[in-house]
């Protein structure tokens, strides 16, 4: 296998939620702009929640093509290997990293001991692991003087780089000095993660740094329940927001002063949020121990002096402007993108002569593939929901992680139609096997699939976490396992299944427009759950326009058309319902053209009833623009596809005990004015609903309401998460971290 060469290889866990990731992203952006080629090699920090996705700033660099991920088994030769955070390297990985590095540095984002002297990571273990993986021991580069000081006097202190590896701001992030405060009333603010150790430790300490004073407005971003317990009743001059509620840039633009004070148990390694505040031209008020790092860029005082300093500066706009100018000057000297470029150039020289690229060699075919694989396993289902969701994700991550779908659905041909590898695994009901026989067989079959395909991630889309699946996955400790599980379960149903979610590394939950009406056991189930926006199969540009869809379906362009989506009919009969709908529509005005959706696994595999046009083509969503309205069961996929297409719909519900609570999903849409709804057993309500939705004015109103819904497709975020996960190297299970 050929070796991929790069100027800089960045190694670390790119899921850190705070300064570690934002500093890494800024450095990558600076190096890429300077012409250095940069690649990312993700490793797992075992203490991070496994449902956490890559930090948005790093994900943005990947999406923009400024940097690429190194797939497992790829061999890399880097002029400089830049490792981030010692705790990521306390254990050997479960597979070789295949890295040759001309030089190496370990950026120390966290002190080796806390304020009480408690070790934060095993220095000896980190030195052993990094030396074994790279063949050379990296220089340890603290991110600031506080981290450097924490190594003083340690018996096992590693070799420290001569200079600190301080964080920098990304290109274009250093703003202009402010000419003065924003308004007459000073606004003092702060943003941080809601970790209590990063904030004052008592109510008195909080009110000392962020005063309860009517002439000063206080805004805190990153305020959570744990902090609320510390503070108690909020002062009237405070405004608090949860972490991530607004973009940091927007938050900083609305305040005058940035105060950063924390409890005595915390050693702030660097202070990324301070750097960002200075970059926005704010006046920063900090404890004196930050002065060696930020110099004259900030004002240093005790928490109790904050209010007086704020009032004095606000009364003298010229002093405020002068301090803002000093902050920008310090940034340009110490924390500009050029600082990151200069320290890399000092180690390896200028960028390579060839143009930088964030791409890797094209994937090879066959068993020598380069892209990591993701194995999607889907249950049979009453309809095609599980398989459709798996396909929605697979077709989006196929350029970064190769999909394989093992499905229990007889509609597996749609997978191959997408050009994706498919395996058919019969469900026990279709084989005549007893469950106690089927589960061991499923485990054996999936075990062989994992051995053959060698996936990095196994994703199960099913309501039941089958023992055959979890048992197979647990034989491969380096494998990531994800349970993709929709919500809206009936109360009490599947409680035992939810309890098994801890056998997966993470739970991926497609969003629900009707989430406020979810009363099932998955709601608030805790654990490693990543919730994304509602998942839909199609990208918006893949749906056929109205005229084109009608041509394909053979519909008269001048007559109204209605789409019946009554499900596969595998656990309820719908022939009587079809007759009721057709008869009612025939009496409401000019008879519409009726198209009947016919599922590929449906009970009725024959022709459509007389007077109806059958549609078997997958997916139905491609043709939704052809219709004036629809009558549909409120299954997950149909519900979200129809609303996203702004298709006026009368939602019914399959209320078989095996189903999710479709009637509540439908009722939520009715109450919010997004659709009409009727219970399937209530023929009177169905007739009234049909008479109403056949009116053009009601159709127009429903379209307007649906057009206001968010357009985000959760399939994009879910696919990115899985593809990123497939690149993260996991620690070896036999290595307990020293």
Indicate left, alpha or beta for 35 from its phi (over 0: left) and psi (-120 to 50: alpha).
left
- Residue 476 CB contacts under 8 Å (≥ 6 apart), including other chains: 450
d(CA 5, CA 340): 21
Q: Mean pLDDT over residues 358-383, rounded?
A: 69
Mean pLDDT computed over every residue of the chain = 92
- pLDDT level of residue 609 (50, 70, 90 thresholds): confident
Contact 512/535 with Cβ under 8 angstroms? no
Beta strands in 598-699 (DSSP E): 612-615, 629-633, 649-652, 676-677
- pLDDT level of residue 737 (50, 70, 90 thresholds): low
Question: What integer pLDDT is reported at residue 398 of this predicted model?
Answer: 96
Q: Is the peptide bond before 80 cis (omega within 30 degrees of 0)?
A: no
Question: What integer pLDDT is reported at residue 605 of this predicted model?
Answer: 54
Picking from 168-177, 398-407, 581-590, which range would have the lowest pLDDT averaged per residue?
A: 581-590
- pLDDT level of residue 51 (50, 70, 90 thresholds): very high
Sign of the torsion angle spanned by Cα atoms 132, 138, 143, 148: positive
Question: What integer pLDDT is reported at residue 1 of this predicted model?
Answer: 61
Q: Rounded to 5 degrees, what angle do the CA atoms 581, 587, 590 make?
A: 105
Sheet holding 187-191, edge to edge: 238-241, 217-221, 187-191, 257-259, 283-286, 299-300
Q: Mean pLDDT over residues 343-360, rounded?
A: 79
Q: What is the pLDDT of residues 663-712, one digit of tens each?
A: 999 999 999 999 999 999 899 999 999 999 999 999 999 999 999 999 99
For residue 353, what is the DSSP state? S
Question: What integer pLDDT is reported at residue 251 of this predicted model?
Answer: 97
* Residue 385, pLDDT above cutoff 50: yes
Cβ atoms within 10 Å, residue 187: 19
* Residue 570, pLDDT above cutoff 70: no
d(CA 690, CA 516): 26
**609 or 620, higher pLDDT:** 620
* Residue 127, pLDDT above cutoff 90: yes
d(CA 490, CA 501): 18
Question: What integer pLDDT is reported at residue 338 of this predicted model?
Answer: 97
- pLDDT level of residue 602 (50, 70, 90 thresholds): low
Q: What is the pLDDT of residues 205-262, one digit of tens each?
A: 999 999 999 999 999 999 999 999 999 999 999 999 999 899 999 999 999 999 999 9
**pTM of the predicted structure, to 2 decimals:** 0.91
* Residue 188 main-chain phi, psi, to 5 deg: -105, 130
Q: What is the pLDDT of residues 70-84, one digit of tens each?
A: 999 899 999 999 999
Helix, strand or coil, per DSSP, at residue 179: coil
* Residue 355, pLDDT above cutoff 90: no
Percent of the chain with pLDDT over 70: 95
Q: Mean pLDDT over residues 173-197, rounded?
A: 94
Question: What integer pLDDT is reported at residue 363 of this predicted model?
Answer: 43
Q: How many CA atoms lie within 13 A of 517 on its CB side?
A: 16
Helix (H) or strand (E) segment spanning residue 40: strand 38-42
Sign of the torsion angle spanned by Cα atoms 587, 687, 693, 554: negative
* Residue 357, pLDDT above cutoff 60: no
Q: Rounded to 5 degrees, what angle do the CA atoms 736, 101, 146 make?
A: 65
Q: Mean pLDDT over residues 129-139, rounded?
A: 93
Question: What integer pLDDT is reported at residue 266 of this predicted model?
Answer: 80
Domains of the chain: 3-170 (3.40.50), 187-335 (3.40.50.2000), 371-531 (3.40.50.2000), 546-712 (3.40.50.2000)
Question: What integer pLDDT is reported at residue 366 of this predicted model?
Answer: 41
Beta strands in 572-634 (DSSP E): 593-597, 612-615, 629-633
Q: Parallel, antiparallel, or unpaired for β 68-69 and 38-42? A: parallel
Residue 587, Cβ density class (10 Å: 0-12 exposed, 13-18 middle, ≥19 buried) = exposed
Q: Mean pLDDT over residues 337-353, rounded?
A: 95
Question: What integer pLDDT is reported at residue 368 of this predicted model?
Answer: 44
Alpha carbon distances (Å) from 239 to 218, 223, 229, 671: 6, 10, 16, 33
Q: What is the pLDDT of residues 550-564, one digit of tens each?
A: 999 999 999 999 999
For residue 43, what is the DSSP state? B
Q: What is the pLDDT of residues 465-484, one digit of tens each?
A: 999 999 999 999 899 999 99
- pLDDT level of residue 606 (50, 70, 90 thresholds): low
């Amino acid at each position: 296998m050929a070796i991929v060469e790069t100027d800089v290889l960045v190694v670390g866990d790119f899921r850190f939620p705070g300064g570690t990731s934002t500093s890494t992203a800024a450095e990558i952006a600076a190096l890429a702009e300077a012409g250095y080629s940069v690649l990312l090699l993700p490793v797992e920090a075992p203490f991070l929640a496994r449902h956490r996705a890559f930090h948005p700033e790093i994900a943005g660099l990947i999406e923009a093509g400024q940097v690429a991920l190194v797939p497992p088994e790829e061999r890399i030769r880097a002029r400089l290997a830049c490792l981030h955070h010692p705790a990521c390297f306390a254990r050997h990985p479960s597979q070789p990293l295949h890295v040759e590095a001309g030089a190496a540095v370990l950026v120390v984002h966290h002190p080796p001991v806390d304020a009480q002297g408690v070790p934060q990571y095993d220095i000896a273990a980190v030195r052993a692991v990094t030396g074994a993986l790279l063949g050379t021991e990296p220089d340890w580069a603290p991110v600031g003087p506080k981290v450097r000081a924490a190594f003083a006097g340690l018996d096992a202190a590693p070799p420290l780089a001569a200079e600190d590896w301080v964080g920098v701001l990304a290109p274009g992030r250093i703003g202009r000095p402010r000419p003065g405060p924003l308004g007459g009333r000073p606004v003092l603010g702060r943003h941080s993660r809601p970790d209590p150790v990063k904030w004052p430790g008592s109510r008195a300490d909080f009110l000392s740094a962020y005063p309860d004073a009517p002439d000063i407005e206080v805004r805190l971003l990153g305020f959570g329940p744990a902090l609320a317990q510390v503070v108690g009743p909020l002062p009237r001059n405070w405004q608090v927001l949860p972490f991530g509620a607004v973009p940091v840039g927007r938050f900083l633009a609305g305040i005058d002063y940035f105060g950063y004070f924390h409890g005595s148990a915390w050693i702030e390694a660097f202070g990324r949020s301070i750097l960002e505040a200075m970059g926005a031209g704010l006046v920063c008020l900090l404890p004196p121990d930050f002065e060696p790092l930020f110099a004259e860029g900030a004002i240093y005082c005790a928490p109790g002096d904050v209010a007086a300093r704020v009032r004095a500066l606000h009364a003298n706009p010229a002093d405020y402007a002068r301090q803002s100018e000093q902050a920008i000057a310090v940034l340009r000297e110490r924390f500009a993108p050029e600082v990151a470029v200069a320290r890399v150039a000092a180690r390896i020289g200028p960028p390579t002569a060839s143009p930088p690229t964030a791409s890797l060699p094209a994937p090879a075919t066959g068993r020598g593939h380069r892209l990591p694989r993701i194995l999607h396993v889907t249950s049979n289902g009453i309809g095609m929901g599980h398989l459709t969701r798996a396909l929605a994700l697979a077709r989006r991550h196929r350029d970064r992680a190769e999909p394989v779908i093992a499905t229990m659905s007889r509609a597996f041909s749609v997978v191959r139609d997408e050009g994706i590898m498919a395996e058919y695994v019969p469900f026990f009901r279709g084989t005549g096997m007893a469950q106690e026989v089927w589960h061991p067989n499923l485990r054996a079959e999936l075990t062989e699939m994992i051995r053959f395909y060698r996936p990095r991630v196994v994703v199960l889309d099913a309501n039941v976490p089958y023992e055959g699946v979890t048992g197979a996955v647990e034989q491969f400790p380096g494998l990531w396992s994800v349970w993709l599980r929709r919500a809206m379960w009936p109360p009490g149903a599947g409680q035992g299944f939810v309890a098994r979610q801890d056998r997966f590394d993470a739970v991926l939950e497609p969003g629900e427009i009707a989430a406020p009406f979810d009363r099932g056991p998955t709601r608030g189930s805790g654990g490693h759950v990543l919730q994304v926006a509602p998942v839909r199969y199609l990208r918006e540009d893949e749906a056929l326009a109205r005229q084109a869809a009608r041509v394909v379906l053979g519909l008269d362009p001048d007559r109204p058309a209605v789409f019946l989506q009554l499900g596969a009919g595998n656990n309820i009969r719908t022939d009587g319902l079809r007759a009721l709908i057709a008869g009612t529509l025939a009496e409401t005005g000019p008879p519409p053209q009726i198209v009947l959706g016919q599922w590929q696994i449906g009970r009725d595999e024959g022709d459509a009833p007389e007077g109806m046009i059958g549609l078997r083509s997958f997916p139905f969503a491609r043709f939704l623009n052809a219709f004036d309205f629809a009558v549909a069961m409120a299954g997950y996929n149909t519900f979200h596809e129809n609303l996203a297409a702004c298709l006026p719909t009368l939602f019914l519900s399959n209320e078989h005990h095996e189903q999710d609570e479709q009637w509540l999903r439908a009722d939520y849409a009715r109450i919010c004015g997004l659709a009409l709804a009727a219970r399937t057993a209530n023929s009177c309500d169905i007739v009234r609903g049909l008479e109403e939705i056949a009116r053009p004015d009601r159709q127009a109103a429903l379209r307007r309401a649906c057009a206001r819904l968010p357009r985000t497709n959760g399939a994009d975020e879910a696919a990115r998460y899985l593809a990123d996960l497939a690149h993260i190297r996991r620690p070896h299970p036999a290595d307990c971290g020293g």
